[in-house]
Amino acid sequence: MTTEPSHNDRAVPAISLPALLLNFLKIGAIGFGGGMAVIALMERDLIRKRRALDAEEFLQGVGLGQVLGPFAVNTALFVGNRLYGTLGGLACAFAFMAPSVLIVILLSWLYFSFHAIPALQGAIGGLGPVVIALILVAAWSMGRKAIRSWPSVLMAALALTLSLFKINAVYILAGAGIIGLIAGKRIKAKDKPQASGGGDASVAAIAALPAVGSVSAGIFNVAWVFLKIGCVFFGGGFVLIPVLQQRLGALGWLTKKEFVDGVAISNLTPGPIAVLATFAGFHLHGVMGALVATIALFTPALILMTFMSREYARLKDAPYFKNFMGGVTPAVVGMVAGAAVLLSPGILHDIAALGLLAAALLLLARFQWHPAWVLAIGAALGAIGIVR
C-alpha cells in the first residue's frame, strides 16, 4: 500500500501502516459497547498516546463519519486515509471490522448447527458500566480541548439536550454547522466525537425502498438487497434492527425467532450492530453469504467516506469549512456526553453497577489503565454474577 502525500500534511506519519492496522485490529477486538466506546478507544490509543493525527482533525473526521453508515468504521477509514491514502483508509476500515465479522461467523455457525446461543450474556452484562466510564473519560478529555468559549459551551449543551431527545445525529450536526457558519470564529473550538443519534430519517428512507415481494435468496440478490439498504443507512447501527426485521421477514430469509437471536448474537460482538447483516448472510449462503452481505451493506458508506476524506485535505483550511466545523465540534462533545446519559438507565440499576462505574473511572482517568484490562474486569464480575 502506498501513501498519497497530496492528501496528507505530514511528510512522515507518526505511526507506521502495519502498526496502525494492528491498532485498529486490536480496537475492533475489544471495542464492546458500540460506536462511542470505540471512538473513545481510538482517541486514547491513536490521538493521546501515539499522536497519529491532530485531535481537532480526528474529531472532524468523527463528525464527517456521521453522514452514512456506522461512524466508528468511517472514522477508522478517515484516519487511515489521512495518513496513508485511499488504500490505507480501506485497509484500516477492514482491519477494524475483521474481529466482529469473524466472531459473528463463528457464533452463527454454532447457532445454526446447534440452535443455541453461547451463554455469554452474563459476561457482557458486566461490560456496561465500564463502557459508560470509557465514554465519560473520552468526553472529558476531548471537551477540555474543544470547549473554550461560552458559545461553544452553549453549543455542546444544546447538542447534549437534543441527543437526549434522540434527535437524528445528522440533523444535530447540520444545525450546529450552520450556526458555526453564521457565528464565524466566535464558536471556534476543537472537535470531539459524537454519539449515534436516532434513525427516523434512515427508517423512512429504507421504508420507501420498492417492495421486493418474494425475492429469491440467490447470492446476487443478497448483495443487491443489502447494497440498497446500505445506500440509506443513516442514523447509526440500531436503526437497522426494525428495518432488517421488516425487509428480511418480508423476504422470508429469517424467521422472527432467528432474527431476534441474530440481534442477540450481534450484541455479543465488539463491532457495530450492523454485523447483523453478517448473521443473515451466513444463514443464506454460509461464509460466502456472510461476507457478501456485510460488504454490500458497508460499500456505500465506505465510498462516500473515502471521497470526503480525500476532499478534506483541500477543504480543511477554507474559512467557511473551519467555521462550519467550529460549530460541529462542540456539538460532537455534547453528543458524546449524551450517549453516556442515554445508556445509564438500563445499565446503572444497582449499587454493584455504580461501584464498577466509579472504579472504572478511577482506573481509566487517574491510573491510566488500558481499557482492555478494565473491560476484562467488568466481564469477569458479570460472569460470576456480581454485576448484572
- Condensed to tens digits (0 to 9), the pLDDT of residues 44-97 reads 888 888 888 888 888 888 888 877 888 889 999 999 998 899 999 999 999 999
Number of domains in the chain: 1
CA max distance for the chain: 60
Non-local CB neighbours of 66 within 8 Å, separated by 6+ positions: 74, 169, 170, 173, 194, 196, 197
Residue 249's pLDDT band (cuts 50, 70, 90): confident
pLDDT digits (tens, 9 = 90+) for 25-49: 998 888 775 667 788 889 888 888 8
Q: Which three cell numbers stand for residue 319?
A: 474559512
For 175-179, 208-212, 278-282, 379-383, which range has the lowest pLDDT when averaged over its residues?
A: 208-212
69 phi-psi bin (left φ>0, alpha ψ -120 to 50, beta other): left
Across 118-122, 189-193, 332-336, least confident range:
189-193
Task: Give per-residue pLDDT as tens, 142-180.
Answer: 788 778 888 899 999 999 999 888 786 668 878 888 998
Q: Which domain holds residue 380?
A: 1-388
> In 3D, which of 38, 86, 29 has the Cα closest to residue 236?
38
Residue 200 has pLDDT above 80, yes or no: no
